[in-house]
Amino acid sequence: MTKTFEIYKLIEASRSLDKLIQQDLNYNIQVSYNLIKTKREIETAIDYVMERFAMLCGQDVDFDNLDEGQKNMLNALLSQSVDIEIPNIAIDQLINTENVNATPSDVDNIMYIFEKRD
Segment 36-86, tens digit of pLDDT: 999 999 999 999 998 888 888 877 778 788 889 888 988 999 999 999 999
CA-CA distance, 87 to 27, in Å (whole number)? Answer: 15
Query: pLDDT confidence of 118, banded at 50, 70, 90?
Result: very low
**Percentage of the chain lying above the pLDDT 90 cut:** 32
Among residues 18, 27, 29, 37, which one has the least CA distance to residue 97? 27
Question: Torsions phi, psi of 6, nearest 5?
Answer: -80, 140
Residue 4 pairs in a beta bridge with: 83
DSSP string, 60-112: T--GGG--HHHHHHHHHHHTSEEEEE-----HHHHHSSTT----HHHHHHHHH
- Contact yes or no for 96/9 (Cβ under 8 A): no
Query: pLDDT confidence of 4, banded at 50, 70, 90?
Result: very high
Q: Where are the domains of the chain?
A: 2-114
Query: pLDDT confidence of 32, banded at 50, 70, 90?
Result: confident
Beta-strand relationship, 81-85 and 2-6:
antiparallel
